[in-house]
Amino acid sequence: MSFSKSMKKLAAGVVASSAIAYSGAVMAADTIKVGVLHSLSGTMAISESTLKDTVLMMIEEQNKKGGVMGKKLEPVVVDPASNWPLFAEKTRELITKEDVDVIFGCWTSVSRKSVLPVVEELNGLLFYPVQYEGEESSKNVFYTGAAPNQQAIPAVDYLINDLGVKRFVLAGTDYVYPRTTNKILEAYLKSKGVAEKDIMINYTPFGHSDWQSIVSDIKAFGSQGKKTAVVSTINGDANVPFYKELGNQGVSAEDIPVVAFSVGEEELSGIDTAPLVGHLAAWNYFQSVYNDTNEAFIDQWHSFTGDDKRVTNDPMEATYIGFNMWVKAVEKAKSTDTDKVADAMIGIQTPNLTGGMAVMNENHHLSKPVLIGEIQDDGQFAVVWETDGLVKGDAWSDFLPGSKDLISDWTAPIKCGNYNTKTKSCGGAAAK
């Protein structure tokens, strides 16, 4: 082959490969990529796999409506495998390699804390759909689960005021969410006149399975003549043997009620709930709440999964709210740019599944109702108490000395996640 012919062939190949590359770029430009960052294996898969499916269901439904800004949504699913450092690695991969415009993900606070510096460094956007300990507000994160004043504090008030509880067992998994929440609750209980000797605190590792001695200790603590309750921040699959052991040792809800912050319909679907009837959970949503919006959501879930027995739960509702708010914000901003979408998010309202409206506030937390449900023998919850209206999520606790003077406000002129109202200064990175 002559040099001239070789050059022509090479040039043709370059043009062809360029055309393919351009075609791929056009295809990528025609979709909006949505990152899905939930554990599909490991100790947290029992809870997180359902949220992956929820995001995929929401994407499918939105694409049926024509997508967003005329573009189809394309899910990019990764599995951080309940490995906290891997959450950060997968987040970096989603943003830099997959070029996603938004990420829906994380369950535990330790996974969110792992992701946080990455989304801030790369200016990504994370929607976090699970109750958490507060003490945080990032311009790159929207917190659609409950802050402590939307779950933990109302639950303790219910135990004290409605059930007459005088002694408290704060039982949690050993990581940041339970420890910080219990620090807040301990301070709150003491402010309500509960003595230190009437507060028992216990932590166990992820996946803990041998609960015999701990449940025995709880029984002993509750046999001192004062009404006792367990406030549980036990997370993941450790809940199954914990509740089984309660049943084994005959700890009934009448004797020592347990109110859980991390146990919903999904966790109960794998165990015999008969011995647990009467125990409690505090959430902002239960599947059993009846209204047309929730019924439609449940029907959609059953249709998507092909399984009429699949339950719904609170973090699913938080995912539903966050996803719908993100869609509205993108359409309002006419862009998927992180800064533009974040600005557009403030003030967005969308229906929740309990019959009202969710509101996104200037601190990147929602206003939402608080419900307390009682476990039934079918694994569902009967609502026994709820707030009169919406409770605005508080990023910083009023009961911790270092936090009570802090607020979060991502609107002008403050634009800060931890603004000190006394010194009139921002203690961290402000929005630029």
DSSP string, 117-156: HHHHHTT--EEE-S--------TTEEE-S--GGGTHHHHH
Distance separating alpha carbons of residues 298 and 266, to the nearest angstrom: 13
Q: Which residue has the tokens 């996974």?
A: 111
Q: Which of 99, 227, 110 lies closest to 161 in space, CA to CA?
A: 227
CA 102 to chain centre: 16
**Which residues is 366 bridged to in the sheet?**
360
Identify the segments of the chain with pLDDT beneath 70. 1-29, 428-432
Task: Determine contact, residues 386/376, Cβ cutoff 8 Å.
Answer: no
Helix (H, G, I), strand (E, B) or coil at 11: helix
Task: Determine contact, residues 147/134, Cβ cutoff 8 Å.
Answer: yes
Q: Is 268 left (phi over 0), alpha (psi -120 to 50) or beta?
A: alpha
In this structure, the strands spanning 72-78 and 102-105 are unpaired
**What pLDDT is stored for residue 237 in this prediction?**
81
Distance separating alpha carbons of residues 253 and 255, to the nearest angstrom: 5
**What pLDDT is stored for residue 267 in this prediction?**
80
Q: How many CB atoms lie within 10 A of CB 67?
A: 17
Distances (CA, A) of 226 to 199, 240, 258, 281, 350: 12, 27, 15, 22, 44
Distance separating the N- and C-terminal Cα atoms of the chain: 60
Residue type for position 112: R
Q: Which of 336, 335, 332 lies closest to 344 in space, CA to CA?
A: 332
pLDDT tens column, 398-423? 999 889 999 999 999 999 999 999 99
Task: Determine contact, residues 133/176, Cβ cutoff 8 Å.
Answer: yes
Q: How many CB atoms lie within 10 A of CB 387?
A: 14
Burial 2-11 (b: 16+ CB within 10 A, else e): eeeeeeeeee
**What pLDDT is stored for residue 272 in this prediction?**
79
Task: Determine contact, residues 241/211, Cβ cutoff 8 Å.
Answer: yes
Residues present in the chain in total: 432
How many CA atoms within 13 Å lie on the side-chain side of 63?
15
Burial 261-271 (b: 16+ CB within 10 A, else e): bbbbbbbbbeb
In this structure, the strands spanning 102-105 and 126-128 are parallel
For residue 92, give every residue at least 6 positions away whose Cβ sits within 8 Å of its Cβ, in sequence order, or none: 118, 122
Domain parsing of the chain, residue ranges: 149-283
In CATH, the number for domain 149-283 is 3.40.50.2300
Distance separating alpha carbons of residues 52 and 40, to the nearest angstrom: 8
Helix (H, G, I), strand (E, B) or coil at 174: coil
**What pLDDT is stored for residue 235 in this prediction?**
87
Distances (CA, A) of 133 to 108, 143, 365: 10, 11, 12
Q: How many CB atoms lie within 10 A of CB 304?
A: 16
